[in-house]
Amino acid sequence: MSANNTLSNEIAAALRREILTGHYREGDRLASERDLASRFGASRGAVREALSQLEQIGLIDIQLGGARVQPINQARIAVLGPLMTLDETPDPALIAQFLQTFGALAALTMEQAVSRADQAQMNRLQGYVVELGELIDDFAAMQEKWRSFFLFSRDISDNLVVQLIGNDLKAQFVDQVVNPGVRPVIPKPVLHKILASLRQGLDQKDSESVGATVRQYFEELSLATTQAIGQMPALMRQKAS
């Protein structure tokens, strides 16, 4: 990556944060390219590229008279990750909304997978559930196994729209929430119950039951994640001391 591209990314990130934190409000006009170039010590070409990045994610609209800030709810999904982590800790309300949405997609994927799977594929799905039960004491390994389980289900469902939406959502969540160190803890009895229900649904090839169980898992994950986020400030203070 060239130095000019790196500077463009830095300018875009700074302006994006100012927009998301309300420094610029909906309808406001950004400073001119000349003024922004002076502010950031950059060429107008680097500023123009930064503004283009913001336009691509729907935060601004570039017209002849300059760039104006657009409503956040009209932005692209790429805004979600930065929006969730504007503060030192992720926004629990946005995390809950994300998990509710991703859970709905995962449930739909599982329902379609169960309906379409042949016996060999069903056996493999059941095998994943057994492996999940064996990893119940290892959060990181269990999350990776859930990921493999859902990816395999997604391949069986063969729903391209869900795949593409899920890819974007997952990238935002993993990069902005999981990597910074949020570690939710779902009580083991709850996990055992979820896995037992999932196993029963797969045994009976009951797609509705499997979908409902997946939604329950994400509800529990949402609750555990928001609780973990609530504990982060205290943990950060402990580390600082």
Domain boundary assignment for the chain: 3-75, 79-240
Instruction: Give the pTM.
Output: 0.76
Q: Looking at residue 1, what is its pLDDT?
A: 46
Neighbours of 128 (CB within 10 A): 18
> Under a CB-based contact definition with an 8 Å cutoff, are residues 45 and 4 in contact?
yes
Q: Render pLDDT for 85-109 as a digit per residue (tens, 0 to 9).
A: 777 667 788 888 888 888 898 999 9
> Under a CB-based contact definition with an 8 Å cutoff, are residues 116 and 155 in contact?
no
Q: Looking at residue 235, what is its pLDDT?
A: 45
Q: Looking at residue 173, what is its pLDDT?
A: 59
**Superfamily name and number for 79-240:** GntR ligand-binding domain-like (1.20.120.530)
- Per DSSP, 104 falls in state H
CATH number for 3-75 (one of 1.10.10.10, 2.40.160.210, 3.20.20.480, 1.20.1640.10): it is: 1.10.10.10
CA 224-136-92 angle, 5° bins: 15
